[in-house]
Amino acid sequence: MGMGYELAVKQALVVSIVLGVAVAGVEPSKKMMRLRQVPAMYVFGDSTLDVGNNNYLPGEGVPRANKPYYGIDLPGSGKPTGRFSNGYNTADFVAKTLGFNKSPLAYFVLKAHDKLIPSAITRGVSYASAGSGILDSTNAGGNIPLSQQVRLFQSTKAEMDATVGPGAVTSLLTRSFFLLGVGSNDLFVFTTELAKQNRSATQSDIAVLYGSLISNYSAAITELYELGARKLGIINVGPVGCVPRVRVLNATGGCADGMNQLAAGFDAALESLLAGLAAKLPGMAYSLADSFGLAARTDQLAAGFVNADSACCGGGRLGAEADCLPGATLCADRDRFLFWDRVHPSQRAAMLSAQAYYDGPAQFTKPINFKQLAQAQE
Ligand SMILES: *[C@@H]1O[C@H](CO)[C@@H](O)[C@H](O)[C@H]1NC(C)=O
Ligand SMILES: *[C@@H]1O[C@H](CO)[C@@H](O)[C@H](O)[C@H]1NC(C)=O
Ligand SMILES: *[C@@H]1O[C@H](CO)[C@@H](O)[C@H](O)[C@H]1NC(C)=O
């Protein structure tokens, strides 16, 4: 691609940003595509949202969805892309509801192809990284923790400013959608550490945990706000005690109630945090998506899932005694399993969640839904 083309693209971008027009880019418009609700989307979080960043991280201990049967249901390729799903993940479906064809590409993919700034300006960037937590210490060394994801966005923004000018960037970011989903890994690590010490959490352990999670989440959100984020869609922590990997530790196969209580307590603290931040940061709008309530209060059978406790791709009891790797057992109908592997939702479960966050029952989003957030005026 020559300089002339790059320049022309840049100029077109500047014009479209100034005019407030969403750029459709070079993709042919797809039938049934919804109009874009926002000019761009920036994604921060863990494996529920990662679209390939971890494939670029070095090291043995890095969680990567880079082998079959990950991606088996992705239209066209059926190949693994780094998504922890049989197809698209929650970030993709949130993006689809907002009028994009899928999640913005992963930061490292864009970097590798020299497309970071063109993408940052026309549709967004994903910084999400599997295994990451709110705390830097969570699975340290094997992921990009939330604080680093925010730092990568900060450096992206500096490059955007240098390319199209800070005024255009501020206008773009003000209208863009910032999607965040993180916290489960912090709770998994906390629980695993206590189990290693053969003890259960005291009230004081839990208070210390929530304190550091909330203070660091608060710092990350405030930093994003200072960089220009105004529309924040935040997914809370789901019932982590109900994932197959945790259930299989229970002789009855039931959910770990203690872990779910831990998640519910964190979610309550997150709700207060967001209300407090919105009250003190002028122009901040947010939607808190209740993934916990959605999972806990949905009749999964009525929603079309015949299996809501086992991994579709795995092995052994509840499909949870083996990773989803080549040679794993696959369930017969992947759309009828709530869980794809022993931790992550199936593509269909991710789709239903994203639809609920966009404009589903009001009880699953506070104080507004993703659609209202996307359409909110400054
Ligand atoms: C909390 O956030 C600060 C600022 O980003 C960071 O320096 C610190 O390492 C974080 N602490 C933990 C435990 O992650
Ligand atoms: C925890 O219990 C197991 C088995 O009861 C024992 O082997 C191990 O040493 C204990 N660990 C600690 C940290 O006490
Ligand atoms: C195991 O599951 C049962 C429900 O089947 C539940 O009552 C029990 O609390 C669970 N055990 C733990 C340790 O969470």
Q: Which ligand 1 atom is at minimum distance from the Cα of 145?
A: 14
Measuring from atom 5 of ligand 2, which residue has the nearest CA?
198
Mean pLDDT within 266-284: 98
**pLDDT confidence band for 13 (50 / 70 / 90):** very low
Between strands 313-314 and 329-330, the pairing is antiparallel
Complete domains list, the chain, with CATH: 32-375 (3.40.50)
Q: Distance from the CA of 200 to the center of ligand 2, in angstroms?
A: 13
- The count of other CB atoms within 10 Å of the CB of residue 317 is 13
pLDDT for the residue numbered 34: 77
- Is there an atom of ligand 1 within 6 Å of 250 CB? no
Nearest to 210 by CA among 268, 257, 259, 255: 268
Mean pLDDT within 164-187: 98
Q: Distance from the CA of 134 to the center of ligand 1, in angstroms?
A: 8
**pLDDT confidence band for 33 (50 / 70 / 90):** low
Measuring from atom 3 of ligand 1, which residue has the nearest CA?
216
Burial 270-308 (b: 16+ CB within 10 A, else e): bbebbeebbeebeebbbbbbbbbbbbeebebeeeebebb
CA distance 34 to 148: 33
Mean pLDDT within 70-85: 97
**pLDDT confidence band for 188 (50 / 70 / 90):** very high
Measuring from atom 9 of ligand 1, which residue has the nearest CA?
136
Q: Is the pLDDT at 22 greater than 90, yes or no?
A: no
Mean pLDDT within 33-47: 94
Longest dimension (CA), the chain: 65
Q: Distance from the CA of 320 to the center of ligand 1, in angstroms?
A: 33
Q: Is the pLDDT at 26 greater than 90, yes or no?
A: no
Q: Which residues sit with their C-beta closer than 6 Å to ligand 3?
A: 250, 252, 254, 256-258
The single-letter DSSP state of residue 144 is: -
Measuring from atom 13 of ligand 1, which residue has the nearest CA?
135
Q: Is the pLDDT at 6 greater than 60, yes or no?
A: no
CA distance 133 to 270: 14
CA distance 59 to 142: 7
- Is there an atom of ligand 1 within 6 Å of 147 CB? yes
Q: Is the pLDDT at 8 greater than 60, yes or no?
A: no
Q: Which among 191, 249, 255 is the best mutation to test ligand 3's pocket, defined by most ligand atoms within 8 Å of the CB?
A: 255
pLDDT for the residue numbered 31: 47
- Is there an atom of ligand 2 within 6 Å of 77 CB? no
**pLDDT confidence band for 32 (50 / 70 / 90):** low
pLDDT digits (tens, 9 = 90+) for 89-143: 999 999 999 999 999 999 999 999 999 999 999 999 999 999 999 999 999 999 9
Q: Is the pLDDT at 14 greater than 80, yes or no?
A: no
- Is there an atom of ligand 2 within 6 Å of 377 CB? no
